[in-house]
Amino acid sequence: MGLRWALLLLLLALPLGRAGRARNVLLLVADDGGFESGVYNNSAINTPNLDALAGRSLVFRNAFTSVSSCSPSRASILTGLPQHQNGMYGLHQDVHHFNSFDKVQSLPLLLSQAHIRTGIIGKKHVGPETVYPFDFAYTEENSSVLQVGRNITRIKRLVRKFLQSQDERPFFLYVAFHDPHRCGHSQPQYGAFCEKFGNGESGMGWIPDWKPQPYSPEHVQLPYFVPDTPAARADLAAQYTTIGRMDQGNNRTALLFSLHAGIGLVLEELRSAGLHNTTLVIYTSDNGIPFPSGRTNLYWSGTAEPLLVSSPEHTERWGQVSQAYASLLDLTPTILDWFAIPYPSYSIFGTKTVQLTGKSLLPALVSEQPWITVFSSQSHHEVTMYYPMRAIQHQHFRLIHNLHFRTPFPIDQDFYVSPTFQDLLNRTRARQPTHWNKTLHQYYYRDRWELFDRSSDPTESRNLASDSQYAEVLELLKAHLLKWQWDTNDPWVCAPDGVLEEKLSPQCQPLYNEL
């Protein structure tokens, strides 16, 4: 084969856009972030850079994580497989020690096989290394997570370093902020949300690109699932300040277009490298906010996520809001589609084929799509927090299957020490009003099946599972959910009243355990 042919073949192998230009991806993920932004109509917080990005994005109103826990969510974002299928059943670090299965074909693996350069800056929180390889990696594995995940000046310089490489390949860069995660459990000296880290006060250090913005507790917007107490309001105010670091929040500089921090800084690096016109930018968060019914829960409050998808090639719907249902399981298919890489089909165990159940979101950038269903699956957060749940959101209905409904819902270490939860415990113990939408007893002890109709009950306060008027909806949703469990090889598919016996018929064998 002549050299010219070899060159041509090599060129053909490079992923090029329709116009023949190289395409890149920048994925921005907040840690435990929610809808605290102007783009999602929170008028109490300043997020000029996210709002500016939204002007160049399709904004998803109904986007959901498939699991409300950090490592499992990141693993599902990076594989397109739910936690029960990729093996990341809970947190990755320390004693929790969860990992994905060795044979999982992750997004960074598939991309590198397709000659795309991969980089990660910030919180990785998944393993093993062989399943999640990145060419360029500054993460908690070899740096301080505060530096690579919260110090926006350091993040900016790392982004620049990645973009200035002489490598000609298209790239996938994953910037995984550690903001606005809580801090009270790991670095309490910096405040409940690390809102003091780098603010220039004595002992806090300084982040040159950040102008901290304080918020007053009276002015925060309370989500319906957060108690209206001084403690929770102060907690939210600290969270806002930390979100301001990720976004910047300095409205004046944003208006002057010298986008000055966090997300703004990263986008500015992209722009000054001349890459903003070839790069798909996605912004989302991994799980619900760290408040009651948020993170670790499969309620709407624990799974609904912000999602902005900004394509320089699809300007048709810039600034529009989509009602179509999106799952973070869709990100791997979306990114593969953007690079024109076929979806993988392989097996992890035996002959069972692994196929992505998510969809590419790119068609929504052109016209509104009729997507109305998403699924969720949770097993652990911390290793001690075994509380398996499966859920489906179909149109305005949400059905949750609590497999271990007889045990109290577990509480994580980080949330336990939070001012909001401590205050709830104190008030409950003292029999004072909690100003919360639930009681602790209700929070701990859940029904096996929880069915909510969000069109008449947006706060998911009324469980309709035993209401005979909804019997048909209940059966339909149960069947949908079960089918998805079979399609994704869920080892829990027969639980809690049966045992999975793959060589018997039926495969679910009864336990007669009174459930």
Ligand X SMILES: *[C@@H]1O[C@H](CO)[C@@H](O)[C@H](O)[C@H]1NC(C)=O
> Which residue in the set 15, 33, 34, 48 belongs to the binding site for ligand X (CB under 6 A)?
48
Per-residue interface string for the shown chain with Ca ion, residues 31-50, x marking contact by CB under 5 A: xx------------------
Catalytic entry in 70, 183, 194, 494: 70
- The binder of ligand X chosen from 186, 395, 422, 428 (CB under 6 A): 422
Site string for ligand X, 194-223 (x = CB under 6 A): ----x------xxx----------------
Burial of 312 (0-12, 13-18, 19+ CB in 10 A): middle
Q: Is 151 a residue that touches ligand X (CB under 6 A)?
A: yes
70 makes contact, choosing from ligand X, Ca ion, none, with CB < 5 to 8 Å by partner type, with: Ca ion
**Complex with Ca ion: residue 296 or 488, whichever CB lies closer:** 296
Sign (positive or negative) of CA dihedral 309, 311, 314, 315: positive
237 binds ligand X (CB under 6 A): no
Residues binding ligand X: number (CB under 6 A): 32
Strand stretches in 336-428, DSSP E: 345-347, 353-355, 373-378, 389-394, 397-402
Residue 382 in contact with Ca ion, rule: CB under 5 A: no
Rounded CA separation 220/202 (Å): 27
CB of 285 to Ca ion, least distance (A): 7
**Dihedral sign (CA 252, 257, 258, 263):** positive
Interface positions, 242-281, toward ligand X (CB under 6 A): 251, 277
- Asked whether position 41 contacts ligand X by CB under 6 A, the answer is yes
Residue 405 gets the label, from left (phi > 0), alpha (psi -120 to 50) or beta, of alpha
Is 70 a residue of the active site? yes
Structure tokens at 49: 């850079």
- 135 forms part of the interface with Ca ion (CB under 5 A): no
Report which of 474, 62, 476 is spatially closest to residue 303, judged by C-alpha positions. Answer: 62
Closest residue to ligand X, Cβ-based?
205
Q: Report the run of H or E that residue 37 belongs to, with start and end.
A: none
Are the CB atoms for 284 and 174 separated by under 8 Å? no
Dist. CA 42–CA 222, nearest whole Å = 10
**Residue 179 sits in the site that holds Ca ion (CB under 5 A):** no
Is residue 386 left, alpha or beta, with left meaning phi > 0 and alpha meaning psi from -120 to 50? beta
Contacting residue, 313, 435, 454, 480, with ligand X by CB under 6 A: 313
Query: Quick one: tokens of 467?
Result: 């209401």
Q: Which of 137, 392, 465, 493 binds ligand X (CB under 6 A)?
A: 137
Given 36, 135, 286, 490, the residue binding Ca ion (CB under 5 A): 286
Smallest separation, CB 425 to Ca ion (Å): 23
88-125 per-residue burial string, b: 16 or more CB within 10 A, e: under 16:
bbbbbeeebebbbbeebbbbbbbbbebebbbbbbbbbb
Is the Cβ of residue 218 or residue 502 nearer to ligand X in the bound state?
218
Q: Is 416 in the site for ligand X (CB under 6 A)?
A: no
β-pair type (397-402, 449-453): antiparallel
Q: Which is nearer to ligand X, 39 or 493 (by Cβ)?
A: 39
Q: Which residues bind ligand X (CB under 6 A)?
A: 39-41, 46, 48, 59, 61, 137-138, 142-143, 151, 153-154, 198, 205-207, 224, 231, 251, 277, 312-313, 321, 419, 422-423, 426, 437, 459, 461
Active site positions, annotated: 70
Q: Which residues bind Ca ion (CB under 5 A)?
A: 31-32, 70, 286-287
